[in-house]
RNA sequence: GCCCCUGUAGCUCAGUAGGAUAGAGCGCGAGAUUCCUAAUCUCGAGGUCGCAGGUUCGAAUCCUGCCAGGGGCGCCA
């Protein structure tokens, strides 16, 4: 990465002149204006308080040294009030192009993680109904983040936590039971707080088919049957939806199993021994206020039922203490934000560094259809299922749109726009660039240019303005990957891909790749191949396909 | 009342461990195809970065207060 390289060179030079300087926080960045070079640094401005010279004098000294490095720098200038502006030599970029051609899909891989083990838990929707479009955003984000972290040297484990225990499951079972009765012609009263979705009827039908004598059974027993069947069918449906959406897990973790294994009881015992549990009003409370939470939290209700929190404490204890993950990332809907304090408190109770748990909140998804904005509210039954959305829009466009926003930003999903296969839809813009390049290589093949050995190609023929600009853009890829990984922000890759596609399209429309000059043709093919490689790698990190034909 | 997120072009959004004259796409207006994919390209118009203070050589970015929108403040998950 050229940015890193400049930083290192500047640091060395500073050290040379003034020795080790504490807290030297300077920037190397890409200026917006071309007249300020390809990169610039404010180091002289930052140094003025540490060294007894004016920024311009400091800059002068540093530059006098750096100018020697002609392989990297073509030109270095100083601009008031003390910026140092660098122009990078084309040789450097050509050299980088060679690297891309050599490493191909491996180019851009980094070792930020150094093999650290990361658990990413995402979606984890309750098995009480099908996935909707909000879950889709979490799925796209979590999966892409997992891909990015893997690409940058982490050992990633993907997990789905199934809340298959507790009151909600009984409500689910009873909902199915009641619908089964209804289907058999009985008059029923369906409670307001039960699951009203249409899918409940489908499960009820299945239940009646599998257990013809269902309704003659004891009510308790029948409900249990309905409950288990409902969980099974809904989970299968969720799994299928996710697989369709190209999201796969290493593990599906059942809350029910967590209890059956005795781990919850074990963890509560540990808390008891630490004197962090007390009884009040018939319930059992955890002293989360000891660790900065707003209030203490119930873990066993007065009716004897455990809360969701109890299982979560055990689950997270296990993530760190027994399974030994270095980092755990939880991806939640923003509506769960009030839950963070208590979970981090629980970790602290076990003397686990709560910084190891990263909780990412994803803002809401609003649906726009026919120009109308609809909020996704489960309560109102006004929600679009993920599978419907994917059927209408397709996996690629859906994922691309989900990954074109920062998770902090609420997302308006415009279904009509997503469906349109026109210039309005950015995903095709990127994919088209890839397909176009593939098509050029097809054409080249027809002209007898087949197996190309890149190491034998002279790339110095690249000197058009658009070519140099592309070379520079390609060089930024590693930085983008690094930034996406460090800040858990796959959308940075999305934006980068749009930029590189744009530059490629510009280039393509202005210059011919296949020319009469074979030396030039090969060099241009090299550039094209690098663009194609980076587009493919980037799209793959988003979980979007890179088609060869469109 | 408290907590979290958001407020940047007509619309949807990037840009926030401070940097120089604030960006993109869409939409709008005008153009480009005998030639490797027009799902493309070129040009143009479009801004008090919610408001007010503060920190400093320098603030969309950091701090404080306010305004507006969304979400959350259960012995639900």
**Residues in Cβ contact with A510 at an 8 Å cutoff, skipping those fewer than 6 apart:** A464, A466
The pLDDT, as a whole number, for residue A455 is 86
Angstrom distance, A3 CA to B61 C1': 21
Rounded, the Å distance between the CA of A110 and C1' of B46 is 41
Minimum-distance nucleotide, CA of A442 to C1': B36
Contact criterion met (CB below 8 Å) for A416 and A389: no
For A516-537, how does the pLDDT look when each residue is reduced to its tens digit (9 = 90+)?
999 999 999 999 999 999 999 9
Q: Can you give the distance from the CA of residue A87 to the C1' of nucleotide B48 in angstroms?
A: 35
* Segments in chain A below pLDDT 70: 23, 371, 373-382, 422-424
Q: Which residue is nearest to nucleotide B26 (CA to C1')?
A: A424
Q: Report DSSP state, residue A409.
A: S
Hey, what domains does chain A have and what are their CATH numbers? 2-88 (3.30.1360.70), 94-108+423-542 (1.10.730.10), 167-244 (no CATH)
Q: Give the model's pLDDT for residue A453.
A: 87
**In angstroms, how far is B58 C1' from A299 CA?**
53
Q: What DSSP designation does A212 have?
A: T
Instruction: Give the residue from A77, A167, A144, A219 showing the smallest Cα distance to A404.
Output: A144
- CA/C1' separation A232–B53 (Å): 59
Which nucleotides in chain B have some atom under 7 angstroms from a protein Cβ? 3-7, 12-16, 18-27, 35-42, 57-58, 69-77
The interface pTM score, or ipTM, of the predicted complex is 0.95
Q: Which helix (H) or strand (E) holds A117?
A: strand A117-121
Helix (H, G, I), strand (E, B) or coil at A87: strand
User: Which nucleotide is nearest to A299 if distance is taken from CA to C1'?
Assistant: B75
Listing DSSP states for A164-204 in one string gives --SHHHHHHHHHHHHHHHHHTT------TTS---THHHHHH
Max Cα-Cα span within chain A: 93
Q: Give the model's pLDDT for residue A422.
A: 65
A430 contacts A497 by C-beta, under 8 angstroms: yes
What are the tens digits of pLDDT across the range A429-465?
999 999 999 999 999 999 888 888 888 889 999 999 9
What pLDDT does residue A423 have?
Answer: 62
- Nearest-CA residue to the C1' of B57? A81
How many Å apart are CA A335 and CA A111, to the nearest integer? 34
The helix (run of H) or strand (run of E) holding residue A414 is strand A411-414
Q: Which nucleotide is nearest to A521 (CA to C1')?
A: B36
């Amino acid at each position: 990465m050229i940015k890193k390289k400049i930083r290192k060179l500047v640091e060395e030079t500073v050290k040379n002149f003034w020795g080790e300087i504490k807290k030297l926080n300077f920037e190397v960045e890409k200026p917006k204006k071309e007249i300020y070079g390809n990169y610039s640094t404010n180091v002289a401005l930052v140094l003025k308080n540490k060294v007894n010279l004016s920024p311009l004098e400091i800059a002068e000294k540093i530059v006098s040294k750096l100018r020697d490095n002609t392989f990297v720098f073509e030109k270095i200038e100083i601009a008031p009030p003390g910026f140092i502006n660098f122009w990078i030599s084309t040789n450097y970029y050509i050299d980088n192009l060679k690297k891309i051609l050599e490493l191909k899909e491996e180019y851009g891989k980094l070792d930020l993680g150094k093999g650290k083990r990361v658990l990413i838990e995402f979606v984890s929707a309750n098995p009480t109904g099908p996935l909707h479009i909000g879950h889709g955003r979490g799925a796209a984000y979590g999966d892409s983040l997992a891909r990015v972290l893997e690409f940058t040297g982490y050992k990633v484990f993907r997990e789905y936590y199934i809340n298959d225990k507790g009151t909600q499951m009984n409500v689910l079972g009873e909902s199915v039971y009641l619908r089964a009765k209804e289907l058999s012609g009985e008059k029923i009263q369906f409670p307001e707080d039960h699951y009203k979705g249409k899918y409940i009827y489908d499960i009820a039908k299945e239940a009646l088919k599998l257990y013809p004598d269902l309704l003659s059974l004891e009510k308790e027993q029948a409900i249990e049957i309905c409950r288990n069947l409902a969980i099974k069918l809904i989970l299968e449906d969720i799994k299928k939806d996710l697989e369709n959406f190209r999201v796969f897990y290493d593990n599906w973790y059942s809350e029910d199993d967590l209890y059956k294994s005795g781990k919850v009881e074990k963890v509560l015992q540990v808390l008891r021994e630490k004197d962090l549990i007390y009884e009040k009003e018939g319930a059992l409370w955890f002293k989360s206020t000891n660790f900065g939470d707003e209030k203490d939290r119930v873990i066993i209700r007065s009716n004897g039922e455990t809360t969701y929190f109890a299982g979560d404490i055990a689950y997270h204890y296990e993530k760190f203490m027994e399974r030994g993950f270095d980092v755990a990332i939880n991806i939640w809907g923003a509506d769960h934000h009030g839950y963070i304090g208590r979970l981090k408190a629980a970790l602290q109770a076990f003397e686990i560094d709560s910084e190891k748990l990263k909780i990412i909140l994803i803002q809401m998804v609003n649906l726009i259809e026919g120009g109308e904005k609809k909020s996704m509210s489960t309560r109102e039954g006004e929600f679009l299922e993920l599978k419907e959305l994917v059927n209408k829009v397709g996996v690629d466009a859906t994922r691309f749109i989900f990954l074109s926003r920062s998770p902090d930003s609420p997302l308006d999903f415009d279904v009509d726009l997503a469906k349109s296969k026109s210039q309005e839809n950015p995903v095709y813009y990127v994919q088209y660039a890839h397909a176009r390049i593939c098509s050029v290589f097809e054409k080249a093949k027809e002209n007898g240019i087949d197996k190309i050995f890149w190491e034998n190609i002279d790339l110095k023929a690249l000197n058009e303005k658009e070519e140099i600009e592309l070379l520079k853009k390609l060089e930024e890829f590693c930085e983008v990957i690094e930034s996406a990984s460090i800040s858990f922000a796959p959308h940075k890759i999305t934006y980068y891909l749009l930029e590189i596609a744009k530059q490629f399209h510009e280039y393509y429309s202005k210059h011919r790749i296949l020319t009469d000059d074979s030396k030039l043709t090969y060099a241009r093919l090299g550039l094209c191949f690098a663009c194609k490689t980076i587009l493919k790698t980037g799209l793959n990190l988003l979980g979007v396909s890179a088609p060869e034909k469109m």
